[in-house]
Amino acid sequence: MALPGIEQAQLLSDIFADALAKFSPCSVAVIGCAGGNGFDRIPPAVSRVVGVDLNPLFVAETEARFRDRIEHLELIAGDIQSPEILFSPVDLIFLGLVLEYVDVDPVVAKMLSMLTPRGHMVTVLQLPSVGHQQVSPSPFKKVSPVGEVMHLVSPTRLQDSVETRGYIQLESRNLVSQGGKPFEVQTFGTIAAPDDGCLAALLSPLNSGENSADS
């Protein structure tokens, strides 16, 4: 995704950084974390980071790059649709170009169940466009099969799925990558609960080191 003319990785990193700055979460989860794209944008105030990716090689790369930089780092290799893939609730869940490859409704339900009461879910969806393939051409042959399982998701459908579960859409905006593809960024949450700060979250059993990969 970081090939010249595509630069979707940089776009996702920027969107993730914007969400971090806007919501100041104490804990975050990145679904489809690849090799840790955007992890370098996570501020020290974030006490716990969860990364999930289907590809164990990507998870290993994230481990090598960030284990010494992020104290409470939890990395999970597996399909987010699997019942075995679970983590304790976090303040921010980021799904960048992930929902195109999964069964949307059960994944949405699962993600919302792993948010803290004050949490937010930020999603990035690829939109239809004229003159662009859904999956950008790549010299890496292993990327090609991805297009066979990709299905574009309507932002309206996603909003409906989220709102039937008691959350609301707080923001929706359209972006265009340098490669010319359009994307929709949606932010979901509830009426804000009181924020006790990251120190309280760090001391909570759900966010303590006993739940981290280092325990």
Q: Read out DSSP for 33-82? A: -TTTTTGGG--TT--EEEEEES-HHHHHHHHHHHTTT-SSEEEEES-TTS
* pLDDT score of 194 more than 60: no
**Strand 115-126 to 73-77 pairing:** unpaired
pLDDT above 90 (res 148): no
Asked if residue 15 lies in contact with residue 41, where contact means CB atoms within 8 angstroms, the answer is no
Domain 8-208, CATH: 3.40.50.150
pLDDT score for 196? 55
Nearest-angstrom CA–CA distance, 188 and 169: 4
Reduced to 3 states, what is the DSSP secondary structure of residue 27?
strand
C-beta of residue 50 within 8 angstroms of C-beta of residue 87? yes
pLDDT at 131: 55
**pLDDT, tens digit, for every residue of 25-58?**
999 999 999 999 999 999 999 999 999 999 999 9
Is the pLDDT at 187 greater than 80? The verdict is: yes
**67-98 pLDDT, tens digit each:** 999 999 999 999 999 999 999 999 999 999 99
Radius of gyration of the chain measured on its C-alpha atoms: 17
Task: Indicate the length of the chain as a whole number.
Answer: 215
Q: How many angstroms separate the Cα of 90 from the Cα of each of 135, 185, 206?
A: 30, 20, 9
pTM over 0.85: no
By DSSP bridging, strand 182-189 and strand 90-96 are unpaired
**Mean pLDDT computed over 128-155:** 59
pLDDT of residue 192: 58
End-to-end Cα, the chain, rounded Å: 34
For residue 146, pLDDT beyond 50: no
Q: What is the pLDDT of residue 53?
A: 97
Q: Who's near 96: CB < 8 A, 6+ residues apart?
A: 12, 15, 16, 30, 32, 123, 124
Q: Who contacts 199 (Cβ-Cβ below 8 Å, separation ≥6)?
A: none
Q: Are 124 and 96 in contact (CB under 8 A)?
A: yes
